[in-house]
Amino acid sequence: MKKSSPHFGEFGGASGGGGYNGSPMDYDPASRNYFVKFVFTILLIMLLLTAAYGVIVLATGVLIAMNYAMVCSACSRVPPCNFICLIIVVVAMSNLVASITVRYKTQIVVMAVIATAVTVGLCILLACTKFDFTQWYIYIVVIAMVFGAVAMVCSIAMLLLDVRLKPLMLVLLIVGTLIQVIILIMELQMILGGRSIEIGEDDYALAAYMLYTSIVDIFIHLVQIMGMLDD
């Protein structure tokens, strides 16, 4: 008896036993390549956003821990612990700055660098004047805390309501920058000495930490302000 050869369907599988005998699927290489690129582009964007969020959260946690180590413990006066903390702060702040500035144009970042340099120069000139900014330190700290609470409430409200009030955000950034500039002037005067409040010579690491974080905060605020005005 002659064996019949198995019949293969158009899709490539043998007939019978659950084989597919329907019409072949349309396959367009160009369309399929576009589909693959589109899928992986979406995937890349999702991963980058996740990584950026993770970097910000991680850097924020590290900076909170370093704030405690530098201000609330004797670590800032004990080498090499103080230098290790400063290195960790630089790495965390660098990641935070990179995750923020990557969203803006190169021109905006360069302009923010120049504006930060000019601002720091003006702060140094003001710190060298006879006016004692440090005598108002406690008031500035209270104002900064109140402003921080107001900014947090506004941010949470905009997040929950799913709205983006650009004028309000711009005002918060400008006010926050001005407060940070005043704080930088006071920190410079505390380092120079001869004022109502001054930093002891043993706290060199703390002094460097304060100046570094203040300057970087001013830079971040200026980048965000310029980026918002450019939109």
Q: Is the peptide bond before 29 cis (omega within 30 degrees of 0)?
A: no
Domain boundaries defined on the chain: 36-102, 104-230
pTM of the model: 0.74
Give the list of residues 6+ apart from residue 197 with CB closer than 8 angstroms, or none: 134, 135, 137, 186, 190
Query: Minimum mean pLDDT among 18-27, 90-99, 121-130, 145-154: which range?
Result: 18-27
Question: What pLDDT, on the 0 to 100 scale, is given for residue 11?
Answer: 45
Other beta carbons less than 10 A from residue 129's beta carbon: 10
State the virtual CA torsion across 185, 97, 148, 138 in degrees, nearest 10: -20
Q: Give the pLDDT score at 17.
A: 47
pLDDT digits (tens, 9 = 90+) for 111-149: 999 999 999 999 999 999 999 999 999 999 999 999 999
* 15 Cβ contact list (under 8 Å, min separation 6): 6, 7, 8, 9, 21
Does 49 or 85 have the greater pLDDT score?
A: 85
- The arithmetic mean of pLDDT across residues 151-167, rounded, is 89
pLDDT category, 9, cuts 50, 70, 90?
very low
